[in-house]
Structures are given as structure tokens and as C-alpha cells.
Structure 1
Amino acid sequence: MAKDHLAAPLIDALRAAAEAPFEQARAMPPSVYTSDDFLALELEHIFRREWFCVGRASALAEPGAYLTCELAGQPVLVVRDGAGIRAMSNVCLHRMSTLLEGRGRVRSIVCPYHAWTYNLDGSLRGAPAMGQNAGFCKGDYRLPELRCEVWLGWVFVTLDPQAAPVAERLAEVEALIAGYDMARYTESFFETHVWDTNWKVLAENFMESYHLPVCHAGTIGGLSRLDEMICPPGREAFNYHTILKDDSLRIAMAHASNDRLQGDERRTTFLLALYPSLLITLTPGYFWYLSLHPRGPGQVSIRFGGGMSDDYAGDADAAENFAALKSLLDDVNVEDRGCTEKVYRGLCSDAARPGHLSHLERPNYDFARYLLARITETA
């Protein structure tokens, strides 16, 4: 890991961007995206200490349902057992192989190397051919557990035992979107991707809709009204902006049975950036999300999922409408990938210089301030 003092010039460059008045703000400097030293700071001060979203609880509805991820270099396993959803180390306690991959459902956790077998609570069930080792005791082995919390249907894990609870950190978000009842949105698709860009470039791309008319000219750009976008100042743990949508996409509107939303709320889309890297497009009818983790300065791992509000569960045409939406989202992703990979290539240029931000990029400015606060925060 890079020592903080070795990265001092990088921190100073970020500070210059983050502490300028918003009316004079510029984009973050290229080194914040391209430097291995800055990435080391992010992994240590952000991804090892913050809550990371691994997906939706609805994907872990049955006992034995599991998913895996890597968080700041640590292999993590999240599984539902009889007591609920728990997170554990995804490393065997014998010869240290990783245990499970991807997502799926199991009755027990079996190491693919020597078949040491763990119960869903992490306790060791069996270990073949260990009877002649006098020091071996099955009861001494249990996979280390990590903190895991479910908030509004989202599953979060953290490596930091001292991190404040998710519900406490995101209480204001919960109040903002109470009428959406986000816990009742069910995931219907989940994919993983790797793009050749920095994780912050993709995060910032989501946080601002300034790029929609140009980057998404072939899909949703023509539907984007920049003059109707509202970008309030960000908060300590998140930022957001909102867009009003018309009823041409019915499943983006509040369902007739939804009496929780009134007036323009029934057609308001929230674009939520929950730090460090959970990005949610939330409409009254459907949602989709990205959860990002760096794979070096120039690559990002993406957890991409989405689904519908349970308000629509009984509608005969809801699945068909959402399938059409998913096809549109795939096309939008192709456009976003092209744009964000171009940005990273440009950031690596000797000629790269950060320009001034539009008022529609207020969330990017707030994101820079969050990064500075976390990286300079004392342990």
C-alpha cells in the first residue's frame, strides 16, 4: 500500500478541486483517476472502511442462496441460512482456497480443493482424511464472519467492525424516497461486467445527466429535459438528482394502486449515488443499479441489476414491458461504456486538464468532497 505521505501531491490536487467554491469548480485532476498510489488510498480509506453493496435481498430469498464478491482484496461470501443473511470470509481454513464463485444456491459450502465442508453458518461440518492429525478438532474451525446489514432490500457488507449502521448513515435517503417503498422492489436480472475505465469515471457518469442528450442520442437522449433536472447539494453519505418523466413509459410511473405518491412524485425518478459506489435509478415502477469496485486504476468491476416494484406484480403486461426496458438499458450501457472508456483514455493523456463544471454536475463536485474527506480522515 502506498504511504499517505507519498501520495500527498495527489491529495493536494484533489483538495484544490474539492475545496473551491462550487460556482468556480472544476473536474477532479487526472492523477486522481490514473494513479496506483491514489487507488491504494481509496482501498485503504474507503473500500476497507465503508459499506459495500453486494446486491438485493430478494436474490437471497431461499436458504442456501449465496453470492460472492471481492472487497478491497478480501474474498467475501454472503449466504442465507436459517437465521437470515450473513457474510463470511470466502476462504477455506485448510489450505486457503477460495470456496464459492459467482451466485447460486447450495446446501453446504464445499471447498473445491480438498472438500472440507462448512455449514451455512460457517461452522465446519466435515474434513476428509483428517483423523490421524492429533491436533485437529473440527469444532475449532468456523469461517470468520463479517458485518452484514439489509437496508430497504439492499445487502451491504463491511470490513470495518466500527462502521456506523447503514440505516443511520442513510436515514435521510429513506425519508426522501419513503413513498417508493424500495424494500418491495424485486430483482429480476443481475449481471457482472468489467469495463476499461476508472470506477470514479463511471460513478460520475451516473451522477450527472448533463451527458444524456449527447452520449445517449441513440436511446434516451431525446427524452432528457436538462431544464427539468434538479441537482441539490449533496450530503455526507450520498448525493442525488431528480428527473420528471412523462407517461410514455408506463412502468416508470406510480402504479394505480400506489397511494403513497402524489402529484409530480408519481412521475419523479431519483438518481441516487450512495457512497462510495452504489448507484440507483429509482422510478415509482422499476429500478436498476450499479455497484462498483475498482480493479486497478483503469478497470472497474460492475454489479448490474434491476427489477420492478411489487406494485406491478399482478399486471399481465408488466414482465413484457420490463423486458423491453431491459433491452433499452443494455443499449444505454453500450453507450455509457463507450463514453466512459473514452474519458479514461483521455485522462491518461499528457494533455489532460480538468475543465469547469456545469451546474448540472453538482453531484460530481460533492463526490470529490466526499473522497477528500474519507481519504484525509484519521483512522
Structure 2
Amino acid sequence: MSEIAKIDQFAQVSSQPPLRWYFDPKVLEIEQRILFDNGPGYVGHELLVPNFGDYHVLEWMGSAKMLVRSENGVELLSNICRHRQATMLEGHGNVKNIVCPLHRWTYQLDGKMLGAPHFPQKPCLHLNKFPLQRWNGLLFAGKRNICKDLKDIPVFEELDFSNYQLDRVEIDEYAFNWKTFIEVYQEDYHVAPFHPGLGKFVNCDDLHWYFGDWYSVQTVGVHHGLRKAGSVAYGKWQEQVMRYNNGMLPRYGAIWLTYYPNIMVEWYPNTLVVSTVLPRGAEACTNIVEFYYPEDIVLFERDYVEAEKAVYRETATEDDIICLKMQQGRKWLYQNGLEERGPYQSPTEDGLLHFHEFLRRQLDSHIGV
């Protein structure tokens, strides 16, 4: 079931980071420099801009950058005008050229300067451009070698975005350390006791882990033929899944990929989700969530989308409660100078152990213990 499951699981208590790693701004500064500045740097999927002339401003980057599809394909461009440094486009849409609303400086879709009103000579000031790497349509602007990190990843074929379409992007704000979010995502121990809906949809007794240096993948089976729903929302979702699949059970209940430190790709029946957790402080983080479905579901099967949206929100709300409880308990211990670490349950917390080992491997020499 796992590549790192060990017999003496109760001896595995040294990998969990010290509590100050969850509250000390100086630790976050080191994490930013070591993990995020040198990390994969996910910026979005190609499906955010599917057509020529499409743009999508990355609001979580302060609207300073945008994805644009031109004759060169999808590129990451600066959304800051070279004249008076104003942001230009907003949200997402389709344009023939990129035009600054302040003084009408105009750029081609590839960022090249096209014109500047009332200048006798056109300034040679093109928009800044940032190189991208691609994996399954996901776009990265960071320093990691993405294809090397994710080479030969299991269930790669299930994470295929072909014939899928973007439905929406949601942004959630949370009042806890970013690592706490990843920790909850990296363990299945809580699923049955805390997620009545999800716990009756997926079968964590059919759990398999796969690990690389920079990723973990977990697959879980379908719970008892979906004979009984654990919540009203999941009942409607299960009906939609079985209807759309013509009564056939899906191959998996879910697939959860984590590309460290902060990128998650989730597979559910006829649904792909990409979420990116960004620290906003030692005790705050933002989650940017992209939802993709087959084109026919996006265009003609809105009941399916609404049902999936409801169960995703239900589970996310429950996860938020878990994270806040962990934040509350850890903060009291930290403020009172106490340190506690618990054992890892195997196999359901093997992914959590793997994430903690990743953190210690990357950060111990910079932070100390």
C-alpha cells in the first residue's frame, strides 16, 4: 500500500517540524527563499486561455502578471505598462491587443510594443516575459525541472486534461499556516471520522501511496459500490456520477497528487481540480482552486457541476475546521513553551510522514531544530 510504511510506526516522531515553524515569521522567510523562490512556481493551466487572444490576469500575483495566448502559444507576460507602471488588463477575456487604459500605450499579444500616442518615435519598451515549463498542460514559472521531478509519475494518464474545459476559479483565505493545509491533505486518517460525505464516497481501506523526492500520489477506491451516501450533498453527487457513467462505478474514488511544496492536482469522477496554497503570513494562507470538467459537462450538464461544487465545498469546510483546531492547539503549546509530537499511523499517514521528511530535508540546515 505504501513505499515507506514501517513496522515500528510509533518510533516515527522526529520528523514532525518544531511548533515554531508554524508561527515564527523568520521561519516563513526561510521557507519563502528555499521552498517557494526555488520551487515549481505553478501559474495556471493552458485551459485558462484556450483561444487565440485570450488572457487571464493572475490576481493572486497582485494582477502583475497574466497568461496570454498568442501566435507563440501560451505565454506569461507582465501586466504592468512600461510607461507609468500601471496594471492594464483585469480579470479574463479576449483582446486583439493589450492596451493600457491610462495613456493608451498598446502592445501586441506577444508583449511587443505596438504604439505610444504622441511620441515622435515608438519607445522600444516591450512587456516583460517569463519563461514557462509545461506538464500535462500545467504551466510553471519556477526553477525546478518539472518533467524531471514528475517523471514516470503513477496514474499520469488519469490526470489528462484533454477535452476538458475550465469552469471556474475560486480563491479561499485561511487563518492558519500553509503547512497545516498540506498536512491535512497528506493524510487519510481523518477521512472516515471527520468527513461523513467523503468517507462514504471513497474507500480509504483501498489506499495506495506512491512517492518521489518532490511529490506524493495517493489513490483511494470507491466506497462499497456507492450504495449509501454519507450526506445529502454527496447523495446528489453520487446520483450524478452514476447517471453520467450509465450506472458504471468509477475506477477510483479519488486521486490526490501533491507536488511539493504547495501544488495539488485532484482527480474525481469526470472532474479535475488544481489548487495552489500560498503563504500570506506565518498564520495565514490563500488557496487558489481551478475546476475543470469535460466540455459537455461544462456546457450542458450544469446539475453535475453544481453537485460536485456542493460536495467539494462541504469537504473543504470540514478540512478548514480540522486545520483551525490544529492551529489552535499548536498555538497554545507554542505560546506556553511546550513541544509535542505524535506518532504516524501507517498507512493512512504515510503521506504526512513523507511531507514532513521533505520539509526537514530541505529546511533543517537553514533553520536548525
TM-score category by the smaller chain? Answer: 0.7 to 0.9
Residue 116 (structure 2) pairs with residue 124 (structure 1): no
Which residue of structure 1 lines up, in the alignment, with residue 150 of structure 2? 170
Moved beyond 6 Å, runs of 4+? 70-74, 253-257, 314-317
Change (3 A) 1:223 1:209: same
Aligned residue for 1:58, secondary structure, equals helix
Residue 260 (structure 2) pairs with residue 275 (structure 1): yes
Change (3 A) 1:375 1:102: farther
Change (3 A) 1:362 1:254: farther
Among 144, 150, 158, which residue is 2:134 paired with?
150
Change (3 A) 1:224 1:104: same
Change (3 A) 1:203 1:184: farther
Deviations 1:13-66 (A, max 9, x none): xxxxxxxx9652233222222121111112212222222223322221012322
Change (3 A) 1:223 1:64: same
Deviation at 1:324, TM superposition (A): 0.9
Cα contact 1:64–1:79 (8 A) shared by 2: yes
Which residue of structure 2 lines up, in the alignment, with residue 188 of structure 1? 167
Output the amino acid matched with 1:326: K
Aligned residue for 1:155, secondary structure, equals strand
Structure-1-length-normalised TM-score: 0.77
Which residue of structure 2 lines up, in the alignment, with residue 328 of structure 1? 311
Aligned residue for 1:327, secondary structure, equals helix
Rounded Cα–Cα distance in structure 2 between residues aligned with 1:327 and 1:293: 24
Deviation at 1:337, TM superposition (A): 2.0
Aligned residue for 1:348, secondary structure, equals helix
Which residue of structure 1 lines up, in the alignment, with residue 354 of structure 2? 366
Aligned residue for 2:76, secondary structure, equals strand
Deviation at 1:238, TM superposition (A): 0.4
Deviation at 1:185, TM superposition (A): 3.4
Deviation at 1:197, TM superposition (A): 1.7
Among 207, 211, 221, which residue is 1:244 paired with?
221
Which residue of structure 2 lines up, in the alignment, with residue 59 of structure 1? 48
Change (3 A) 1:118 1:345: farther
Aligned residue for 2:281, secondary structure, equals coil
Deviation at 1:315, TM superposition (A): 11
CA RMSD of aligned residues (A): 3.3
Structure-2-length-normalised TM-score: 0.79
Which residue of structure 2 lines up, in the alignment, with residue 357 of structure 1? 344
Q: Structure 2 stretches of 5 or more lacking a match?
A: 1-7, 227-237
Rounded Cα–Cα distance in structure 1 between residues aligned with 2:263 and 2:242: 23
Within 5 Å, which residues of 2 pair with 1:99-110?
Answer: 99-110=88-99
Rounded Cα–Cα distance in structure 1 between residues aligned with 2:104 and 2:168: 31
Query: How many residue pairs get matched?
Result: 339
Cα contact 1:252–1:267 (8 A) shared by 2: no
Deviation at 1:243, TM superposition (A): 0.6
